[in-house]
Amino acid sequence: MKINVETLSPVERKLSIEVPPERVAKELDKAYQSVGRRAKLPGFRPGHIPRAVLERNFKHEVERDVAERLVNLTFAEAAQEKGIEPVATPNVSLEGPLVPGAEFKFTAKVEVRPEIAPRDYRGLAVTRTVTTVTEEAVGAELEKLRDRFGSLEPLEGREVAEEGDWAVIDHEGSIDGKPFEGSAAEGVSVRAAQGKVDEGNMPQLIGKKLGEVVELDEPFAADHRNQELRGKTAHMKVTLRGLRARKLPALDDDFAKQVGVEGLETLEALTGRIRADLEKREKRKTEADFKDALIKAALARNDFEVPPSMVERTIDNMLESTVERFSRMGLDVAQLDLDVARLRADLREQALLQVRGSLLLDAVATVEKLVVEADDLQAELSRLADEAGVPVAKVQQQMRSADARAALHSRVREDKALALLAESASVTAG
C-alpha cells in the first residue's frame, strides 16, 4: 500500500492512499463469498451460486461495500503507520470507482491535534481575587428563602392598584384581529410594577380600579421562543379582577422549621448553613477564576491553531449539559423553541478558550512528564463525591465507562499542570 502525507495546516493532514490490485481482489472475493452464502436466486441453492451470476446480480452493491470497507481499513492502517492521530472523522474523496484488477485510490483529509512546544509558562503574572461572605450577602439569601415561602393573600380595604401590588387579571389578545396561542387566560397573577410585561410586570395597572379594563399593545421580541410571534405586536385587553399582598414569614425558629432541612431547626442553624454554603460557592468561584487567569496568561504566550471539530464537539457537550440542566428543572426543551444556531454562536468563544487551554495544559504535562497515579484519581473521586454530597461509590459507578475514566484521567492531568503553573506564578491579591 502506498501512502503519501501532506501537511495542509498545523491541524490538518491529507493522506493519499493507493491500495494494490491484489488486496482489492482479496476483499472482492471475501465479499462475494459472503453474498453467495446469503443470496437466494431462482434455480440455485444458497452457497452454490456461480461467481459470474453473483456479479451480474450484485456487482454494484458489492463493489460499493468493498470500497467503503477498504477506505475504513486502509485509512486506519495508514494513519497508524504514519503516526497520525485523527480528532475527527476524515473527509474522504475517491479518485475513481473501485475496479477489479486495478489499484484503488482515494484521499482523506483529517484534523489532528497541533504539535505544541509550550514556552514561558512559568512565572505567569496573575491576580487572585479573594472575596469574603458578608452579613449582607447572608441576609439577602435569607430574604430569597423567605420570599420563596411567602404567600399571596387578598388585599382588604382597597380597590385601586398601587405600585408593588400583586394583581389578579383576566386577559385576551389578538394579532391583526386574530387570537393567538396563549392570548386568553383567567386568574393570572402579575405585578403592578415598572418593568416588562413578559417578565410578569404590568405598570399599566397602577391606579386602576377593580373591574376596570386596560388596553395595551405588547411587542414581541425578534428572538421570542414562539417563532410565530417574533417581531409582532399583540393588542391586549386586561381586566383587573383582584388585588393581592405578599405575606412573608417572620425570620424566627418557626421559619427554620418550615424550611424543613434536617438538623436546621433554629434560625441560627439555618443562617450558619447559608453562610457555609455561600463560603463554599465563593471558594469554588475564586479557584475557577484563578485557574482561568492562569490559562489565559499562559495562552497569551503560546499562540497555536486548534482543530475546528474539537471546538464544535465542545459546543455540543455544552449544549447537552444545558439540556440536562433544563430537564432536571422539569423543563421540556422541545417546548422552549431554542435558537440553537444562536446558542452555538454565543458558546463558540468559551469553547475555543476551553479547547486551547486543554491542549496547552496537555502539552505542559507532557514536557514536564507529569504522571497521574491511582491515588490522584481516588482523591479526585472523593472530591467530586464531597461536592455532590453523594457516596464515593456512586461516583465510581458513574465512571465505569472507558470514556468517563479517560476524561477523569485527563482532568486530573490538567489539574497537575495547572498546579505547576500556579506554583511558579507571580500572584497578586485582588
Residue 323: which CATH number?
1.10.3120
Tell me if 127 is assigned to some domain: no
- What letter does residue 142 receive in the DSSP assignment? H
For the chain, how long is the longest CA-to-CA vector? 99
Neighbours of 215 (CB within 10 A): 9
Same domain, 294 and 224: no
Same domain, 103 and 156: no
Same domain, 395 and 261: yes
pLDDT of residue 335: 65
Same domain, 313 and 409: yes
What type of residue is 115? E
Contact in structure between 207 and 160 (CB atoms under 8 Å): yes
Same domain, 412 and 277: yes
pLDDT of residue 17: 97
Same domain, 196 and 321: no
- Alpha-carbon torsion, ordered 131, 274, 380, 354, to 10 deg: -50
Which of these three, 190, 219, 247, is where a domain ends?
247
Q: In CATH, what number is assigned to the domain containing residue 66?
A: 3.30.70.1050
Give the C-alpha separation, 202 to 188, whole Å.
Answer: 12
Same domain, 326 and 407: yes
Same domain, 290 and 414: yes
In a 3-state reduction of DSSP, which class is residue 401? coil
Same domain, 232 and 261: no
Per residue in 305-348, pLDDT (tens digit) is 999 999 999 999 999 888 888 777 777 766 666 778 888 999 99
| Contact residues for 180 (Cβ-Cβ < 8 A; gap 6+) | 173, 174, 228, 229, 234
Give the C-alpha separation, 387 to 177, whole Å.
Answer: 55
> What is the number of domains present in the chain?
3
Tell me if 136 is assigned to some domain: no
Q: Which domain holds residue 174?
A: 151-247
Per residue in 266-316, pLDDT (tens digit) is 999 999 999 999 999 999 899 999 999 999 999 999 999 999 999 999 999
DSSP H or E stretch at residue 252: none
Tell me if 35 is assigned to some domain: yes
Digitized pLDDT (tens) for each residue of the chain, 430 residues in all: 999 999 999 999 999 999 999 999 999 999 999 998 888 899 888 888 999 999 999 999 999 999 999 999 999 999 999 999 999 999 999 999 999 989 999 999 999 999 999 999 999 999 998 888 999 999 999 999 999 999 889 988 889 999 989 999 999 989 888 888 888 999 999 999 998 887 888 999 999 999 999 998 888 877 777 777 788 888 999 999 999 988 999 999 999 999 988 889 999 999 999 999 999 999 989 999 999 999 999 999 999 999 999 999 999 999 988 888 877 777 776 666 677 888 899 999 999 999 999 999 999 999 999 999 999 999 999 998 888 888 988 988 888 899 899 999 999 999 999 999 999 999 998 7
Query: What's the pTM value of the predicted model, to 2 decimals?
Result: 0.75
Distances (CA, A) of 101 to 31, 34, 48, 67, 246: 15, 20, 24, 14, 85
Distances (CA, A) of 179 to 154, 172, 222: 31, 8, 19
Same domain, 297 and 374: yes
**The three grid cell numbers given for residue 127, joined into one nine-digit string:** 491576580
Give the C-alpha separation, 256 to 251, whole Å.
Answer: 8
Tell me if 55 is assigned to some domain: yes
Give the C-alpha separation, 384 to 380, whole Å.
Answer: 6
pLDDT of residue 220: 82
Which of these three, 59, 80, 111, is where a domain ends?
111
